């Protein structure tokens, strides 16, 4: 029997996971806008703004590589709730008035470092909540679509709120972490996946022994340039004389991703997910090449949306295949590594985008030199 959206949402635990992800993602994206506004407003540097945005991705390399095992060695429900509570406290501290930009970047780096552990536990427990493969794949598509909706709302609303009161945006982020933790209490308590009965294989051993995992990690490297537009959105909007447009520039890719994830519900595509993975990942970069032309802002936003849609297909398929390719007791470790690779490539792209924008943001995106 084919999986259905109604059947998946009928699961109380999945509803809790879905709602928690929507809330926390909304807050995260609002915080990214607020952080960019604060750093750019205090320094006037596109480079430092790109570095600040990169700080929301780069720390996941270390935590993903070394802390993903936490999602296997502790009850996953507890890992999720504690991670949300800790991030709520840190996000609240970031809202303290007058905090130096260096401290802001440091705190967001710590919050970001917790992310891979949370995501690893989240994906692994989704596979436990929905053990049927077809239901799991459908649920993952819904989850990824939810993430994009949260990003869309967070960026769009954040573009308005953060410009007037960045601290409020950070406090809203803290509140969404608390609300997410409350939703996660709907999950049933489960025993620790890795009970210590027999040594679990190391991440290195798993990667070395699995051609599928190695190939999927390789695909993630294609995604490096796709985060650059988000990293320089605020400087770009200022250069164009439209500061309020930064939220819409940031929201373009998530908007395209919401549309892009819809075809993943089609049975024929679900059955051929391996065949569409690499073409979709490659297609995500093609629209960005056109953004170097002297195009009006609405067309640039449309191209970014196309890129986001192709990227969403690739991301959803690769995450599903990675999760299903390994045993449950090591899904946290592999999930942490997977998120680390994705985030570090995005972080490198963000830093690179900030460096290029520091030379000439408007020249790159619109073909005219900054005034």
Residue 289: count other Cβ atoms within 10 Å of its Cβ. Answer: 11
Residue with more model confidence, 145 or 366: 145
Compare 73 and 60 and report the one with higher pLDDT. Answer: 73
pLDDT at 370: 39
C-alpha dihedral over 49, 219, 14, 23, to 10 degrees?
10
| pLDDT value, residue 83 | 93
What's the pLDDT at 198? 56
C-alpha to C-alpha distances, 271 to 15, 104, 143, 321, 338, nearest whole angstrom: 25, 45, 19, 12, 23
| Cα 119 from chain centroid (whole Å) | 9
Mean pLDDT of 50-55: 71
Higher pLDDT, 314 or 287: 314
Q: Find, among 194, 183, 181, 176, the residue nearest to 80 by Cα.
A: 181
- Structure token digits, residue 53: 């945005």
Tens digits of per-residue pLDDT, 99-133? 877 788 888 888 888 888 888 888 889 988 988 87
Q: Identify the three-state secondary structure at position 271.
A: helix
CA distance 190 to 208: 30
According to the model, what pLDDT value does residue 369 have? Answer: 38
Q: Which two tokens stand for residue 162?
A: 């953060």
Given this model, what pLDDT does residue 80 score? Answer: 94
pLDDT band at 304; cut points 50, 70, 90: confident
Q: What is the pLDDT of residue 179?
A: 95
Q: Would you say residue 316 has pLDDT above 50?
A: yes
> Is the pTM value of this prediction over 0.75?
no
pLDDT of 8 over the 80 cut:
yes
On whether the CB atoms of residues 63 and 115 are closer than 8 A, the answer is yes
**Residues 146-161 pLDDT 10s:** 777 776 677 667 667 7
The string of pLDDT tens digits covering residues 251-261 is 777 777 777 66
Higher pLDDT, 362 or 330: 330
CATH number (2.60.120.380, 3.40.50.620, 1.20.1250.20, 3.40.50.720) of 11-188+203-366 reads 1.20.1250.20
- Domain ranges within the chain, ordered by starting residue: 11-188+203-366
Average pLDDT over residues 81-109: 87
Instruction: State whether the Cα torsion 8-137-23-145 is positive or negative.
Output: negative
If 0-12 CB within 10 Å is exposed, 13-18 middle and 19+ buried, where does residue 324 land?
middle
Residue 272, pLDDT score: 63
Alpha helices for the chain (secondary structure H): 5-9, 12-43, 46-54, 60-67, 70-73, 76-94, 101-129, 133-164, 166-184, 203-209, 211-220, 228-231, 233-239, 246-261, 267-271, 273-283, 286-290, 297-324, 331-366
């Amino acid at each position: 029997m084919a999986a259905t959206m109604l059947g998946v949402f009928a699961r109380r635990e999945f509803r809790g996971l879905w709602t928690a992800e929507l809330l926390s993602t909304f807050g995260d994206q609002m915080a990214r806008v607020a952080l960019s506004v604060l750093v750019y407003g205090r320094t006037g540097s596109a480079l430092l703004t790109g570095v600040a945005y990169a700080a929301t991705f780069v720390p996941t390399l270390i935590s993903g590589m070394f802390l993903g095992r936490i999602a296997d060695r502790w009850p996953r429900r507890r890992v999720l709730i504690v991670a949300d509570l800790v991030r709520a406290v840190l996000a609240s501290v970031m809202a303290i008035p007058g905090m130096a930009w260096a401290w802001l970047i440091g705190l967001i780096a710590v919050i970001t470092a917790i992310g891979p552990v949370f995501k690893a536990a989240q994906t692994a427990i989704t596979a436990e909540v929905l053990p049927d493969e077809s239901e799991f794949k459908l649920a993952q598509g819904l989850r990824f679509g939810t993430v994009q909706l949260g990003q869309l709302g967070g960026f769009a609303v954040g573009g308005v709120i953060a410009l007037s009161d960045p601290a409020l945006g950070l406090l809203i982020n803290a509140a969404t972490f608390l609300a997410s933790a409350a939703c996660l209490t709907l999950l049933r308590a489960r025993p620790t996946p890795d009970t210590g009965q027999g040594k679990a294989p190391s991440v290195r051993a798993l990667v070395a022994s699995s051609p599928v995992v190695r190939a999927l990690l390789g695909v993630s490297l294609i995604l490096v340039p796709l985060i650059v537009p988000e990293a320089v959105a605020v400087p770009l909007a200022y250069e164009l004389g439209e500061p309020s447009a930064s939220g819409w520039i940031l929201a373009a890719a998530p908007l395209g991703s919401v549309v892009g994830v819809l075809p993943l519900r089609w049975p024929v595509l679900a059955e051929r997910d391996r065949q569409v993975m690499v073409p979709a990942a490659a297609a995500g970069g093609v629209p960005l090449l056109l953004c170097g032309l002297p195009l009006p802002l609405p067309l640039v936003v449309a191209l970014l949306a196309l890129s986001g849609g192709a990227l969403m297909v690739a991301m959803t398929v690769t995450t599903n295949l990675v999760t299903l390719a390994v045993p449950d007791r090591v899904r946290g470790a592999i999930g942490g590594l997977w998120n680390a690779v994705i985030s570090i490539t995005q972080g490198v792209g963000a830093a690179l985008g900030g460096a290029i924008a520091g030379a000439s943001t408007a020249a790159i995106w619109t073909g005219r030199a900054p005034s």
